Amino acid sequence: MNVAPGVFELGRAVPIGSSVAVQVGDRVASDTVIAIGHLDRRVLRLPPGDNFELLKKPGDPIKKGETLAVMEELLGLGLRELVSPCDGLIESVNPRRTGIVVTGSDREIRALVPGLVQTLGPSEIRLSVTGHRLQGFFGFGQPASGELWMAGELYPASEVKRRLGPAVRGQVVLADSFVLPEVLPVLGRYRAVGLICGGLDFGPLWDLISPAGPFPAGRGLPTLVVLGGFGGCRIGSEDRDILGRAEGKRVYVAGPTAGRLVFAGPPHPEVVVA
């Protein structure tokens, strides 16, 4: 059965080396800060040769969009900038000057779901949570939480335009049945944190999230949890009842593994209504 009401354990990943802000036995709310650290670490490749100028050195703080290096193009006729993809600092530049390692700035990692701290591990804090845990059919994305926003039917495309807008910012959007995968970039633009739906077509979704697509493994898109299946599937009646009662409440959504596609779990994508 998909619905598992009661008490269960939920793991919240924290970066290794982060400072933990809770102790075993602490009761936490969704917005309680449980650790401070950074998960982002990216390698930016520099072009071969030495026809570029580095504007930053290791240890320098950087802002998203800030220029890190300037390169000559077209035999010196043009210039190209290498900009930072995130806030943070320059961790290192390798000796051959072929790559820059950028780490994200420290940020607060929140519990996202109310519960009791059970164990503290080097990379995970386990919480005891009371509520409903719904296992998804397919999904991806970082753990996130937001108020549940009922969108009804997000089909056809005209309905998507009519129903979605700035109101979904920070919300987890629930669509009753089939949605168009093109909804995901729209939700991303409006800064929604998640989408729960009954079903969607795998083909156009794969065009978005495949390694060759614009959002590899769903990076840059809101967290997705498909509860029914691929194609025109609806959310099961029990799950629909639970989610129906949670309208306006804060719910937790998570893909199986952040930053990577997992077709067949475990782990599975999930929705937690606590």
Partner 1 sequence: MAQGEGLALLVGSTVTTVFTVRDRQPTLPGATVRTSGRIPAPADLLPALRTLGRPEASAQDFTSIVAAAGTPSVTIDGRSSLNPQAIRVTASALLEAGGALAGPLPSDTAAVDLFIHELARQAPDALVLTQPIAGDKLRLVARFLGGKSAGDCLHVVYNGPAGYRHKALENLAGCALSSIPSAITAGKPTTGPTLQALRDLVTSHLGGRLAAAGYAGRPFASMGAAAARTALRLAGPASNRNEPSDTRASLCFLVVEPAEATAFLPFGDGVDAASAGVVGAGTVDLIAAGRSRPAGAGAEGWLPAWTSLLRRLPLDTEPIDVANLAGAGLVRPWSAADSEDSALVNAAMTEEILARLAAKWTGAVRRETNPARARVIVGTGYGLSRLGSVRLAASALVGGLEPAGVTVVAVDHWGASLLGTTPEVVATCLSPLQVEHDWMRARTDPWAIVTLERGNDRVSLRRLLPGQVSVIPLGAGESGRLTIEPCLPKLDFGAGPGRVWRGEVRGGAIGLVLDGRGRPCRPPEDPVLRMAKRREFLAAFGVLEPAHRRMAGAGKEVSS
Closer Cβ to partner 1, 106 or 207, answer by number: 207
Total residues interacting with partner 1, rule: CB under 8 A: 30
Q: Find the length of the chain.
A: 274
Closer Cβ to partner 1, 114 or 199, answer by number: 199
Site for partner 1 contains 204 (CB under 8 A): yes
DSSP 8-state assignment for residue 161: H
Structure tokens at 205: 């979704």
Q: What gap in Å lies between CA 33 and CA 18, rounded to an integer?
A: 12
Which of 40, 159, 207, 238: binder of partner 1 (CB under 8 A)?
Answer: 207
Site for partner 1 contains 1 (CB under 8 A): no
Least Cβ distance, residue 241 to partner 1 (angstroms) = 24
Q: Cβ contacts of residue 76 below 8 Å, gap of 6+?
A: 51
- Stretch near partner 1 under the rule CB under 8 A, chosen from 4-12, 123-131, 184-192, 257-265: 257-265
Instruction: Kindly provide the b/e burial profile for residues 208-246, where b requires at least 16 CB atoms within 10 angstroms of the residue's own CB.
Output: bbeeeeebebbeebbbbbbbbeeeebbbbeebbebbeeb
Binding to partner 1, residues 125-144 (CB under 8 A)? 137-138
Site for partner 1 contains 211 (CB under 8 A): yes
Q: What are phi and psi of 157, to 5 degrees?
A: -60, -30
- Stretch near partner 1 under the rule CB under 8 A, chosen from 7-15, 25-33, 79-87, 210-218: 210-218
Helices (H), 171-249: 183-189, 202-209, 237-245
- Stretch near partner 1 under the rule CB under 8 A, chosen from 5-13, 40-48, 73-81, 183-191: 40-48
Q: What gap in Å lies between CA 111 and CA 145, rounded to an integer?
A: 9
Site for partner 1 contains 43 (CB under 8 A): yes
Q: Contact residues for partner 1 (CB under 8 A)? A: 41, 43, 45, 48, 94-96, 98-99, 101, 137-138, 201-204, 206-207, 210-213, 229-231, 260, 263-266
